Amino acid sequence: MPVIGSDLMMKRESKGFRLGHCRCYHSRGLNRKIFLPMKSVAFFTLALILLASQSFFAQYQKVVSTNEKAQIFPLAELKEGMRGTAKSVFRGTKSEEFNVEILGVLPNWIGPKQDMIVGRLSGANAERTFVFAGMSGSPVYIDGRLVGAISYSFPFAKEPICGITPFEQMASVVEQAPSIKLASTSPRTFAYSDLLANSWQPTLLTNSGDRLASGFAADSRLMAVAGQTFKPIATPVTFAGVSQKTLDAFSSYFLNAGILPVAAAASNAPVSALKPYSENTLLGGDSVVVHLARGDIDIAAAGTVTLRDGEKIYAFGHPFFSLGATSLPMSESHVVTVVPNANNSFKLAVADALVGTMTQDRATGIYGNLGNNPRMLPVKIKFTNSRGRAEEMNFESAFDEILTPLIINVGVTNAITAQERNIGDTTIEVKGEIAIRGEQPIVINRRFAGNQAVNFASSSAAVPLAALLRSNFEGLDITGITLNVKAVDGSKTAALDRIAIDRTDVRAGETVEVTAFERTEGGKIIEQKISLKIPADTRVGQLNLTIGDGNSVQQTSAVTQFTPRSAAELITIINRLKRPDRLYAILTRTTTGAVVGASEMPNLPPSVIATMSSERTAGGARPTIQTTIFETEIPSLEFIVSGSQTLTIEVVK
């Protein structure tokens, strides 16, 4: 019986032909024909495609995994003379490679059990710029494994010698550190003089600015060996929306912390929403920017990413401000150029999209997370200059006990100096509030005059804000700052020359008329009428009536400092402070009493006074002989009046 298709000769053994719903194949090496249904052929083909696609995606996932989590080169395996590569961005957004030769390891150089690797850079870019500000965090690889981050340099070096922080140390310090800043466990004491201060200055920054370049203070005997020690690579901080005069006034604070101010190097970063990150966001060697402020004022520090591990970002290789647990915006960036400089080369970086939050600032680097929104403080400043023109400034500031008041200080100073003259006498009025969630706001209402008015006005919000942040009470949530600033030409000041009263014998509940005579700088005498009602429950006897500015009357107060037990108590006391630019009328009586904490306790029985004065106890309370009967703020006039005068009145039946 003939076989169907037996008379057809195939040119190739594997080639078949269609017969109904089957295809006929000649098997290689066998003299027989095989018939396969069409559905089986389709299934076989699909299986081959799936296998190929799985192989492709497996290779793709392997590449992505390699970008996100590199293998670590153990410090113990590192040998002198080993060669590797490093990556950093010199222009644009793409990182470029250059060569690194390992020269050795300095044990415990960074800190206890924190070694530093010494390396020499080579390659066209590295030999042109040497180690530059903004290179901090550039990853170093040997045989494809991550060694660490370029983070230290020699000032005035004649070769591109660098210090490298081992990545093992960068990771271990971050993993062991607490992720949030703990609230205060014990109350803090505040002095009234500090809360009434006209100016605020950071106290954390103690290093000399000259150390940024030489490593030693200008008056140090060690200047003879300047440049003979490794220093952390300076972090270039770009200021946008900040005038050069403002930058000059505050640059010393940043220099003292090893921060290199670079003006007009960045555009204002808009307050935009968080950008979703991808597998290409902030990989090792990419340029990264950490913001201190963004909006109409933008203050940003540029560095380099050492490693991205999933959502985790490691960078810098040395501390930024040594803030510990923090929350600062973290953005992608592009580099305009790297400026070669004999003193200190630096890169000009411009912030791009916000992609995450820096959460740790430690001795061996900074650490952040992609996809997290930072906690920021909204600030709104409306300034009206002496010509009546109003301008509004809006920006967001980072939260930190030291940096936030400094940034607010910079913002107010910049708003004033950008619109008003800086030479000559000026009178500035500042009104506004610091909003706190669930609490009454801190009310700001101050006036300043003279050639230091701008400096004093810029601290009007910084002083109470610093107190709030220093208190670190649990649950304290500052939600915003709003300021209205107004300037007028000339110094509107006067001195309290004398006071007069219509009568010295009064009854409880009666009103007396007091006249304050105020002398201006030009010698003009201004009379101010003050009506005071003697409290109805006042006992007969002699009283002291004092008219004076806030500073003068506060100095005579028995209470000079206090220890608040809650945020609400601190806010209340700040709002009740006697301000130096206002006059107050105070009635006091000589009596026996005591001051306990921030409260006066007048007319105590002798037995209580004796108990407080016992030889077996000390502290907690102190006796006082001046008890306040009544006090009030006197409505202010055009001039800021200073000084104090006191007279005696008699309360009769």
547 pLDDT exceeds 50? Answer: yes
Angle between helices 403-417 and 244-256 (to 10 degrees): 160
Per-residue pLDDT at 87: 94
35 pLDDT exceeds 50? Answer: no
Per-residue pLDDT at 465: 93
Angle at 202 between CA 189 and CA 318, to 5 degrees: 115
47 pLDDT exceeds 70? Answer: no
Phi, psi of 123 (to 5 degrees): 115, 160
Give me the mean pLDDT over the 181-198 stretch.
Answer: 69
Confidence class for position 617, pLDDT limits 50, 70, 90: low
208 pLDDT exceeds 50? Answer: no
Which stretches of 196-288 are DSSP H helices? 244-256
26 pLDDT exceeds 70? Answer: no
Residue 641 CA to chain centroid, in angstroms? 37
Q: Which two tokens stand for residue 421?
A: 């003259």
Closest by CA to 132, choosing from 90, 102, 170, 99, is: 90
Q: Of all helices (H) and strands (E), which one includes residue 404?
A: helix 403-417
Q: Which two tokens stand for residue 42?
A: 């389709």
Q: Find tokens 């300076």 and name the residue.
A: 234
Confidence class for position 130, pLDDT limits 50, 70, 90: confident
Per-residue pLDDT at 48: 44
Give me the mean pLDDT over the 75-99 stretch.
Answer: 93
Per-residue pLDDT at 66: 38
Give me the mean pLDDT over the 123-146 stretch.
Answer: 89
Which stretches of 462-561 are DSSP H helices? 462-471, 550-555
Per-residue pLDDT at 21: 40
Give me the mean pLDDT over the 94-118 stretch.
Answer: 91
Per-residue pLDDT at 450: 82
Closest by CA to 557, choosing from 188, 196, 189, 187, is: 196
CB-CB contact of 165 with 116 (8 Å):
yes
Per-residue pLDDT at 502: 93
Which stretches of 550-623 are DSSP H helices? 550-555, 567-575, 606-612
**What average pLDDT does the structure give for the chain?**
78
Per-residue pLDDT at 637: 84
Per-residue pLDDT at 618: 58
221 pLDDT exceeds 60? Answer: no
Per-residue pLDDT at 83: 95
State pTM to two decimals. Answer: 0.75
513 pLDDT exceeds 90? Answer: yes
Q: Which of 116-130, 182-196, 519-533, 600-614 has the lowest mean pLDDT?
A: 600-614
Per-residue pLDDT at 175: 63
283 pLDDT exceeds 70? Answer: yes
Per-residue pLDDT at 474: 82
Q: Which of 123-137, 554-568, 627-641 has the lowest mean pLDDT?
A: 554-568
Q: Which of 121-125, 346-350, 444-448, 542-546 has the lowest mean pLDDT?
A: 346-350
368 pLDDT exceeds 80? Answer: yes
CB-CB contact of 8 with 26 (8 Å):
no
In the chain, count H helices and then E strands.
Answer: 11, 35
Per-residue pLDDT at 253: 73
Q: Which two tokens stand for residue 560?
A: 């000079």
CA dihedral 634, 637, 642, 645 (to 10 degrees): -50
Confidence class for position 341, pLDDT limits 50, 70, 90: confident
Q: Positive or negative CA dihedral for 100, 106, 108, 109?
A: negative
304 pLDDT exceeds 60? Answer: yes
Angle at 125 between CA 121 and CA 131, to 5 degrees: 50
Domains in the chain, CATH or no CATH each: 1-68 (no CATH), 70-184+212-373 (2.40.10.10), 378-489 (no CATH), 493-652 (no CATH)
Give me the mean pLDDT over the 112-129 stretch.
Answer: 88
Per-residue pLDDT at 584: 94
Q: Which of 182-186, 314-318, 476-480, 623-627 has the lowest mean pLDDT?
A: 182-186
Q: Find tokens 């040395």 and name the residue.
A: 318
Q: Positive or negative CA dihedral for 270, 274, 279, 285?
A: positive
Which stretches of 15-134 are DSSP H helices? 38-68, 124-129
Per-residue pLDDT at 127: 84
Confidence class for position 402, pLDDT limits 50, 70, 90: confident
12 pLDDT exceeds 50? Answer: no
612 pLDDT exceeds 80? Answer: no
Percent residues over pLDDT 90 in the chain:
35
424: helix, coil or strand? coil
Percent residues over pLDDT 70 in the chain:
73
Per-residue pLDDT at 4: 35
